[in-house]
Structure 1
Amino acid sequence: MPEAASQDPSSVIALLAERGVSLDLQTVDICFLAALHTRAARGALPSFTEEQLVDAFEQVAVALEAGGETGRRRRAAASIRRLREQRLLARIDGAGVVRTGEYALSRLASGIVEFYLEEESLTRENLGLLMRTLHTSLLEVLEAARGATEPGAWHEGVVAPLRVTVAELVAGIERRQSAFDAQQEELQKEIGALLQADWFGAVERCQSLLEVMSTTLRELNEMLLRDAHQLQSLLHDVQELAMAGDAVDAEHAVRRAMEQVDRIGAWGSARQRAWSEYYQYVHRFLRDVVRLDPSRALAQRLRELLSGKSGRPHALCVAAAPPLRLLRPVENLGERPPVRRPRKEREIPPAAEPAEDPQAILEARVRGIVAGGARGLVDVTAQLTAEIEPERRFASAGRIAQAVAAVCVPEADPERPWVPVREDMLVEEWRVPPVEEPSASEEGT
């Protein structure tokens, strides 16, 4: 099958469905594959004879206590046939039925066994080693790209290393990232089991596990972001050289490698964000639930209430208040006209207006009233405030007294009486001497 990344997902699914791909493995089958994988690793065996396969299956059957001795060879033959049908065991000799054959584990079988037995998680040490090796390989690819002048040199120095060496290194990082994801899931289950078993006594242990995992994720994410940026810079240089040399295959290989590097860099950010949410959730649960109910008495009472063991069923009591109903006649208001601002001139042109001095006008009126016969401050104030609103009379009384003092020299005794002007105001009485009424010429000036 061609590389899956270059194919359309619908085509891949249709091809797998056409082939009828499926896996049906029992525990004994997986143990059988694990026994073969372990024997091949310990004895450096490239293949197995039929006798070795039967011997390995019998060892597994004895360990699992599956069946009697008489049926083991028959079950071994059935298991071998089932594994061959699922392409987990491959016959590598060409003898056919002439003699017994030799068999080897397929890549699918090795992957299944390694997933269960050799699941190596991502750590700071192996990530640093893989990133340094990947960086060195890309430097060699860049040097080869600078000296490539023909299609053969591009394929040998750029395309092949990117598709084999670089792809295998990136796949090793992704495989360890998947193992780290499984480790995170196991840690979450462990935290749940600790709280279920010890409750308040497991708080410190849970917090310690959370902190260790948070520190590890933060360090891995920092390394991935830093090293991924350097790798992308090298790949970008190789891509520019491939575009300048019209090396289409090399350009496609570089683009594929850049996508893989982007994927391993995005993994760190996504996992740290997801773990941060889980971290906050567990701490909130420890703070709001576990620490507030260390003996689980509240949780037990709530469980008994919900199950009905407390003697009376659990119910929610609410006040039955009638709804507020306000029925209004339906009116068709139609469309409202748009709101418009009336147009008017923003700036009013200046106009010549005569200057008025309110104090001078008040003094002229006071002079006229005094000349007309008023002999006290009370009389002057009463006449001038008769036309003023009640709330403004108090302020006007002070200005009137100032105008009287400016028009003439009032006479006042050492003890001046307070005389009411109206019901709401009292004024200190002054005697006002007579003054001459101003002439028309003086009023004009």
Structure 2
Amino acid sequence: MQDVADPAHPPSRDLTDRIARTWAADLSLQLDRERLAFLTGIQAYLELNPDPMLGERELRDVFSLLNDVVQGDQASLALRATHAIDSLCRQHLLVRADLGGIAAEGEFTLSPLGKTLAEWFGAHETLTQEGLEVMLTRIRGDLAGVRAAAARDGDDTHWRTRVVAPLKLTVAGLVEMIDRRQRGMDVQQQETRERIGRLLEAHWFDAIDQCEALLRDTSATLHELHRTLMSETEGVANLLNEIFDAADAAGRDEALDAVNHVRTQIERVAAWGDNRFQSWSAYYQNVHEFIRSVVRVDRQRALRTRLTEGLRGFAATPWYLRCARQTPYRHLREPESRLETRVIARPVRERDQGLRDHQTEGGLMERLVDAWRQELEDTGRLDLWELLHRLLPSHSDDELYRLAGELLAWMVEQGEPLPADGWGWRPLGTRLELQNLVVKRATGRGKTDG
């Protein structure tokens, strides 16, 4: 059973008030491995049975199963089960649901705190692109209904039931689901990093392929999540702005607070996606640099072994790096500069002529952009060097140089850049060199409401 917040009396979000209330509750958790496993077992039992409660006999059966799994002492089974049930009840993780103990045999269920702990240890819900798109679509659909209700206006009951309550319960609940799955994704990333470290420590050079596969899979997942968040949260923000404007015009302070609360949660979700994408990109580069410069060079771990032994034995046998100091050059006299400073001037007419030429050539991009856009739709990709190389026979280096900057910005807006592995500088004509860029056609872009 999970408590549902009353829309008319929302819980306090003041930082100081929450800290004071928690301190005054005088609650501390003491869970060893056995009782934590018992807690997750109770949650698993409740998920598999339609009855939301279980009796004392079922609790003891769950503990007996736990005892069989860990091969515990059978002689003290009953006593340990009694102490475990009592401990979970005293810590408000397990609560009685039989009207205060009037029934002959108690009926129990997990408290919200106990359920949260059991769910976290029982299974880590990870964020996927499909799940994220479904939840964001539901959020946008619910916000569209709230926007329509706010636009119709009404009395206090209308605003409380059709605007404030959906924002605080439905929309905020969906955002919390996304946040919980994000935390599961954080745990999964941490496990991936630890697994890469264990693979390199155990197998060194032979683990390169497995490590690179883990890096690629996680990078692809984060890239899709980041792209989905960036495209979908903009539409959610537009809907919230419209609801805020309607509530502000009607003078509904409670609705304004609810909108601000949901907006803060949406901004936190988007900030999570951006932060995790950047931090994983840095980790991705560091691991590849380590594999390239250390693992592939020192395949037998000879250098690593010698360096480790040298560091461990430094206190007993210090060692140092000796470097030759270069003798400074002697200046027999102070240098004298006899270079004459000449003012560089250019005729105004020549400068104006260059500006006029640039203005007349500015229509080259407009004449070619339609054909390039059609090529992107037909082939699914555009290559910067190939597009400019086609124009090489009929255009000068100066024209291609100016066109390259405009074309680069346009390609980034039209498609998604492919990874830059292997891109190098390629000659373009007799005077230019170009670092290539390849983009693919963007797919799955969400349309924004509003």
Above 0.5 in TM-score? yes
Q: Aligned partners of 2:100 and 2:210: how far apart in 1?
A: 61
Cα distance change of structure 1 residues 50 and 25 upon mapping to structure 2, 3 Å threshold? same
Indicate the residue corresponding to 1:23 in structure 2: 29
Counterpart residue number, 2:41: 35
- Whether 2:170 is the aligned partner of 1:157: answer no
Kindly state the Cα deviation for residue 85 of structure 1 after the two structures are TM-superposed: 0.8
Residue identity in the other structure for 1:59: L
C-alpha deviations, 1:407-427, integer Å up to 9, x for none?
Answer: xxxxxxxxxxxxxxxxxxxxx
Q: Tell me which of 313, 316, 325 is aligned to 2:317.
A: 313
Give the partner amino acid of 2:319: A
SS in 2 for 1:224: helix
- Structure 1 Cα separation of the partners of residues 117 and 103 of structure 2: 32
Match of 1:63 in 2: 69
Q: Deviations over 1:255-298 (max 9, x none)?
A: 11111111101111111111111111111111211111111111
1:293 to 286, 295, 298: 298
In the alignment, what sits opposite 2:230? 225
CA distance in 1, matches of 2:219, 2:324: 50
Residue identity in the other structure for 1:50 = E
Deviations 1:223-271 (A, max 9, x none): 1011111000001000000011111111110111111111101111111
- Cα distance, 1:137 vs. partner? 0.8
Change (3 A) 1:290 1:314: farther
C-alpha displacement at 1:9, in angstroms?
Answer: 2.0
Question: Residue 304 of structure 1: SS of its match in structure 2?
Answer: helix
The residue correspondences of 1:100-139 to structure 2 (distance < 5 A) are: 100-139=105-144
Looking at structure 1, the residues matched to 267 and 103 of structure 2 have their Cα atoms a distance apart, in angstroms, of 53
Structure-1 residue corresponding to 2:417: none
Q: Deviations over 1:287-333 (max 9, x none)?
A: 21111111111111222333449xx9241155799xxxxxxxxxxxx
- 1:10 is displaced (CA, Å) by 2.5
**Aligned partner letter, 1:30:** L
1:90 partner SS:
strand
Provide, for residues 335-361 of structure 1, a one-character-per-residue CA deviation record: whole Å limited to 9, x for no partner: xxxxxxxxxxxxxxxxxxxxxxxxxxx
Report the TM-score when normalising by structure 2.
Answer: 0.67
2:52 maps to what in 1? 46
Alignment deviations for residues 98-134 of structure 1 (CA, whole Å, 9 cap, x no partner): 6222111111111111112232200111011111111
2:269 is aligned, of 264, 269, 278, to: 264
Question: How many equivalent residue pairs?
Answer: 318
SS at match of 1:103: strand
Deviation at 1:95, TM superposition (A): 5.2
Q: CA-to-partner distance for each residue in 1:392-421, whole Å, 9 max, x for gaps?
A: xxxxxxxxxxxxxxxxxxxxxxxxxxxxxx
CA distance in 1, matches of 2:210, 2:244: 50
Assess, with a 3 A threshold, how the Cα gap between structure 1 residues 111 and 192 changes in structure 2: closer, same or farther. Answer: same
How far apart are the structure 2 equivalents of 1:270 and 1:3? Answer: 30
Q: Distance in 1 between matches of 2:323 and 2:226?
A: 54
CA–CA distance in 2 between the matches of 1:176 and 1:250?
Answer: 27
Given residue 253 of structure 2, which amino acid in structure 1 is its aligned partner?
Answer: V
Deviation (angstroms), 1:34: 1.9
Point out the structure with max Rg over C-alpha.
1
TM superposition outliers: structure 1 runs of 4+ over 6 Å: none
Give the structure, 1 or 2, with the largest relative contact order (CA under 8 Å, sep 6 or more): 2
> What CA distance in whole angstroms lies between the structure 2 residues aligned with 1:283 and 1:226?
30
Structure 2 portions without partners, runs of 5+: 326-450
Aligned partners of 1:33 and 1:113 also within 8 Å: yes
Choose from 279, 288, 298 the match for 1:283: 288
Q: Secondary structure at the match of 1:104?
A: strand
1:189 aligns with 2:186: no
Q: How does 1:138-153 map to 2 (within 5 A)?
A: 138-153=143-158
For structure 1, the residue ranges without an aligned partner over 5 or more in a row are 322-445
- Partner in structure 1 of residue 15 of structure 2: 9
Conserved 8 A contact 1:138-1:166: yes
Percent of paired sites with the same residue: 35
Take 2:221 and 2:32, find their aligned partners in 1: how far apart are those partners? 36
Q: Which amino acid aligns with 1:74?
A: L
Provide the aligned C-alpha RMSD in A: 2.2
The one-character-per-residue Cα deviations of 1:192-227 (angstroms, maximum 9, x if unpaired) are 011111111112221221122112111111110111
TM, length-normalised to structure 1: 0.68
Output the CA distance in 2 between the equivalents of 1:307 and 1:253.
Answer: 59
Is contact 1:39–1:45 with CA below 8 Å preserved after alignment?
Answer: no
C-alpha spacing 1:320/1:133, structure 2 compared with 1 (3 Å): closer
- Quote the residue 1:341 is aligned against: none
